[in-house]
Amino acid sequence: MGTLCPCKEESKNWDDTQNLYIEGDNLEVLKLLQKSYHGKIKMIYIDPPYNTGSDFVYPDDFSDSLENYKEITGQVDAEGRKVSTNSEANGRYHTDWLNMMYPRLRLARNLLTDDGVIFISIDDNEQGNLKKVCDEIFGETNFITSFIWAAGRKNDSKFASISHEYMLCYVKSLENLKANGVVWLEKKQGLDDIYTEFESLKSKYGSDYSKIQNDLRGWFKSLPDNHPAKNHSHYSCVDEKGIYFAADISWPGGGGPKYEVLHPITKKPVKIPNRGWVYTTPERMQEIIDSGKVHFGQDETSVPCIKSYLTEKEYAAPYSVFYKDGRASTKRLRGLMEADVFQNPKDEEVVQSLIEFTLTKDSIVLDFFSGSATTAHAVFLQNAKDEGNRRFILVQLPEATDEKDNAYKAGYKNICEIGKERIRRAGEKIKAEVEEQNAQLKIGEEPKKAPDIGFKDFKLDTSNLKKWQPDYDEFEQSLWDSVGNYVDGRSELDVVYEIMLKMGLDLTWPLETHTYGGKNVYTIGLGALMICLDDHITPDVAEGMVSLHKELAPETWKVVFKDNGFADDSAKVNTKEILKCAGLEEDAFTTV
């Protein structure tokens, strides 16, 4: 079994952040996360390598052992990676790819909360096969839809221009969502463009709503048919309260009340709808008229309408088909990184919209094919938008970049280096934008909170704890070699985090170091776990732990020592007794 070794020097805001970036084969990493994050992930988004017959970094048998991982990532192989071509000619074209995906999805499901959701980007090559696999793992009844993302035309085919891809969407338990009244709502696309145009026209014409309305209608007509704002062109009326649609004011289904309503200008009774008024009494109708919510025609010959303001109808269930130009995200990433370092990155704004309509403000998002770290960028964007505290866990194989690629020439030797740098740059950019907004606040407005833009970096490796493999020709020496417990070159902090994983603790829990009797004591989770990995443990260490326990008063208490950290069995027993007298449970004392 492997472990995750902390890498502070490649992290950002290590002491404060709640985000994780993990470098390693995602199958092994998912296994390691099972205990600490079982049932804690609210949303998974993945964009796995599409089975196009191109090279991808997995061996033909997809064994994915730690030894293979080390070979792939250049820890053994001088080439820096092992590449296997999954060609259609090998007779296992679909099988190999699905064999790669199946165990990862099985493990991923365990991590979802009961109301959790997974989105999987995929193209036509494996969409049908992947759905069958997901039906088995997540259950057919938990399938929500296959979102279709129209990303723009590609003129590279003789028969059909493929301009879309899919996002399969499954939930952990549809019954749970229904029982808790969960509804997914997203802000309709194109609204921000409409509001921007409206504000521009207000600046131009002031309170002349007739001119604003006329120009707004002209603007709608000028938009291309695939522009998302075009879907809202029926919101073509304007007054001092904003943009609205003149909606039906009659009784649904017919048979509604019929009474006189006077036109505000002509003072004559207006035309009554055939189905009757939606409001049951003249008095209630007059209240609505007085509030300015009724849209009257030029005279009494037309039936009035109810004003349905765009700001009141901003949210709806997400459409299963949506348009987003796939070139835009590439352009934004190129600008952010100041180089063309990643081909076809997923759109952070699309992932942000998934986050917005599925997650509460304190949820965890997992992406175990994280690529250029689009998901981290999306989390930052949404947290900046609504001041949320969403966290991310990103996993990426440190696949070497090709020496001929722009990424390599720009200094990025593997994909993880690209992802981490994107997180740093995106975070700083968003932080600066929040600070700029706060600098322009009006009197009485509250400043926005900057999101957590850091991440803790971890690297997959073999266990820090030695597995005794005796050399029977040199038995005594191999026995003494094993007494050190830990693999050479590993730090105490490496071991501390391996212990946290084995105990099922969140890797972002606060960790502090205290010194008692000249020995380091690590406290995790405000004293819930105390670890001392020094040698020659004295009663001073145990008494210091007791004092710290009284000060922090955690609800639970566990203590871990190095197995050979005691001078003898007597010292170990004495330490244990001191802690037991202070309330430590018998099974809460552990050695490694």
Q: How many domains does the chain have?
A: 3
Q: Are residues 21 and 149 in the same domain?
A: yes
How far, in Å, CA of 132 to CA of 150, rounded? 23
Whether 386 shows a pLDDT value over 90: the answer reads yes
The kind and range of the H/E element at 84 are strand 84-85
Nearest to 405 by CA among 81, 37, 140: 81
**What confidence tier does 164 reach under pLDDT thresholds 50, 70, 90?**
confident
Residues 221 and 321 in one domain: no
Contact 82, 62 (CB under 8 A): no
pLDDT value at 69 more than 90 = no
> Are 321 and 310 within one domain?
no
Average pLDDT over residues 209-235: 94
Helix axes 348-358, 374-386, angle to 10 degrees: 50
Which residue, 132, 125, 120, is CA-closest to 88?
A: 125
Tell me the H-state helices in 167-258.
174-179, 191-205, 209-222
Check if the beta carbon of residue 171 is closer than 8 Å to that of residue 338.
no
Read off the pLDDT of residues 110-132 as tens digits, 9 standing for 90 and up: 999 999 999 999 988 888 899 99
Q: Note whether 249 and 230 are within 8 A (CB).
A: no
CATH code, domain with 327: 3.40.50.150
Predicted pLDDT at 581: 95
- Tell me the C-alpha distance between 267 and 222, whole Å: 38
Q: Are strands 519-524 and 511-516 parallel, antiparallel or unpaired?
A: antiparallel
Q: In the numeric block, which tokens belong to residue 590? A: 């552990």
For 322-373, write each residue's pLDDT tens digit.
878 888 999 999 999 999 999 889 999 999 999 999 999 999 999 999 999 9
Indicate whether 155 and 204 sit together in one domain: no
Q: What is the pLDDT of residues 439-462, one digit of tens each?
A: 998 888 899 999 999 999 999 999
Nearest residue to 21 via CA among 483, 452, 558, 400: 452
Last residue within a domain, chosen from 297, 316, 335: 316
Q: How far apart are the first and last CA of the chain?
A: 15
Q: Are residues 267 and 335 in the same domain?
A: no
The whole-angstrom separation of Cα 131 and Cα 120 is 10
CA within 13 Å, CB half, 382: 30
The stretches of 392-474 forming alpha helices (DSSP H) are: 406-409, 415-439
pLDDT (0 to 100) of residue 81: 42
Q: Check: CB of residue 269 under 8 Å from CB of residue 220.
A: no
Interatomic CA distance for residues 308 and 306, integer angstroms: 6
The confidence score (pLDDT) of residue 117 equals: 98
Q: Do residues 508 and 391 touch, judged by C-beta distance below 8 A?
A: yes
| 3-class DSSP state of 115 | strand
Among candidate residues 298, 316, 334, the one where a domain is terminated: 316
Domain boundary among 408, 429, 458: 458
Q: Is the pLDDT of residue 479 over 80?
A: no
Read off the pLDDT of residues 481-499 as tens digits, 9 standing for 90 and up: 444 567 888 999 999 999 9
CA angle in degrees (0–180, nearest 5) for 450-383-42 = 145
Is residue 74 one of the residues assigned to a domain? yes
Distance, in Å, from the CA atom of 176 to the CA atom of 538, rounded to the nearest integer, reads: 52
Q: Which of 483, 446, 450 is nearest to 465 (CA)?
A: 483
User: What pLDDT is recorded for position 486?
Assistant: 79
Three-state DSSP class for residue 336: helix
Residue type, 582: A
Cα 540 to Cα 274: distance, rounded to the nearest angstrom: 90
In-domain check, residue 467: no
Beta strand 112-122 with 143-150 is: unpaired
Q: Please check whether residue 361 lies inside any domain of the structure.
A: yes
Please tell me the predicted confidence (pLDDT) of residue 484. Answer: 55
DSSP 41: E
Q: What is the largest CA-CA distance in the chain?
A: 111
User: How distant, in Å, are the alpha carbons of 448, 525, 547, 549 from that of 511?
Assistant: 28, 7, 17, 15
43 - beta bridge partners? Answer: 117, 365
Q: How confident is the model at residue 476 (pLDDT cuts 50, 70, 90)?
A: very low
Query: What domain range is 447 assigned to?
Result: 2-181+317-458
Summarised one tens digit per residue, pLDDT across range 388-435 is 999 999 999 999 999 999 999 999 999 999 999 999 999 999 999 999
Q: Are 532 and 577 in a shared domain?
A: yes
pLDDT at 469 (0 to 100): 53
State residue 415 phi and psi, 5-degree precision: -65, -35
In a domain, 225, yes or no: yes
Q: Does one domain contain both 166 and 21?
A: yes
Residue 463 identity (one-letter amino acid) = S
In a domain, 469, yes or no: no
CB 356 within 8 A of CB 401: no
Kindly report the pTM of this predicted structure.
0.83
417 and 526 both lie in a single domain: no
Strand partners, 5: 459
> Residue 278 and residue 283: Cα distance in Å, rounded?
13
Q: 387 and 239: one domain?
A: no
498-547 tens-digit pLDDT = 999 999 999 999 999 999 999 999 999 999 999 999 999 999 999 999 99
The answer as to whether 136 is a domain residue is yes
Q: In this structure, are 238 and 289 located in the same domain?
A: yes
Q: What was the pLDDT predicted at 59?
A: 46
How many helices (H) and strands (E) would you count in the chain?
Answer: 17, 23
- Cβ atoms < 10 Å from Cβ of 284: 13
pLDDT at 408: 95
The one-letter code for the residue type at 171 is: V
Does 326 share its domain with 399?
yes
| Percent residues over pLDDT 90 in the chain | 76
Question: Residue 79 pLDDT > 50, yes or no?
Answer: no
Phi, psi of 2 (to 5 degrees): -95, -165
Residue 464 lies in a domain: no
Residue 459, helix vs strand vs coil? strand
Domain match, 406 and 323 both: yes
- Does a structural domain hold residue 468? no
